[in-house]
Amino acid sequence: MNALVRPSLPRGLYVLCDDTLRPELSLREKAAGLLAGGARVVQLRMKRTPLREALVAAREVVAACRRAGAVCLVNDRVDLALLSGAHGVHVGEEDLPAEEARALLGPEGLVGVTVRGLEDARAALAAGADYVGLGPVFGTTTKQVPAPVLGLGGFAAVVRASPLPVVGIGGVKLENIADLAATGAHGGAVASDALLAEDIAERVRRLSAAFDRGAQGASLVGGDA
């Protein structure tokens, strides 16, 4: 029998394939650029796409990710994640609760949850999450976030104590992703710095290499939790 096993979230760069940025490109084109740059984790974030189009896009992007060996998570919508065969879902406080996402996806689906601090991360563990997205680490114009900027110090304090792997989000860019990785973060989530680049694939390669360099530094000083 072919037992289904939940994939673990790969460590490193985590990119958002977002429909609010660079609207002249289709989600499929954005995903192609991200994957050409070697992205291993892609979150499909659709805030403007009508639902039926979103289902078509999800099926295309999930298929492209699977061909490339990348993990694909759908933002917000467990129904789209299930219908498109995605690896999982990322939910925040305006989405289905993590417990319900877990119940719908079953044990083999990845569930990521947005958190603002350590207490939230503990609750996410109890709710069945696999990882947490913690932010905003830095200022961002991609989204109006209803929470204060943590800064690297505030972010690192949660990473050290979190019971779940932490992906940092919000204003993560080439110039700061190595520092973020050096806190021991499991991942760095990037939307605008990748999607607004003239050459998306090249930017993804550089972001990924910078994260890995920062994480390597962290492990050399024993910070690779």
Ligand X SMILES: Cc1nc(C(=O)O)sc1CCOP(=O)(O)O
Please provide the size of the chain in residues: 225
- DSSP state letters, 82-104: HHHT-SEEEE-TTS--HHHHHHH
174 binds ligand X (CB under 6 A): no
Task: Report if residue 10 touches ligand LCLJCK34, rule: CB under 6 A.
Answer: no
Interaction between residue 172 and ligand X (CB under 6 A) = yes
Dist CA 25 CA 28 (whole Å):
8
Cβ nearer to ligand X, comparing 63 with 154: 154
For position 136 contacting ligand X by CB under 6 A, the verdict is yes
**206 is an interface residue for ligand LCLJCK34 by CB under 6 A:** no
Are 43 and 133 in contact by the 8 Å Cβ rule? The answer is no
- 192 contact choice in Mg ion, ligand LCLJCK34, ligand X, none (CB below 5 to 8 Å, kind-dependent): ligand X
CA atoms within 13 A on the CB side of 78: 20
Using CB under 6 A as the binding rule, whether residue 133 contacts ligand LCLJCK34 is answered as: yes
Pick from 168, 218, 161, 166: nearest CA to 188:
168
Does 95 sit near ligand LCLJCK34 (CB under 6 A)? yes
Phi, psi (deg, nearest 5) at residue 201: -60, -45
Check binding of 176 to ligand X (CB under 6 A).
Answer: no
Total residues in contact with ligand X, by rule CB under 6 A: 14
Residues that bind ligand LCLJCK34 (CB under 6 A): 43, 45, 75-76, 90, 92, 95, 112, 114, 133, 135, 143, 167, 169, 189
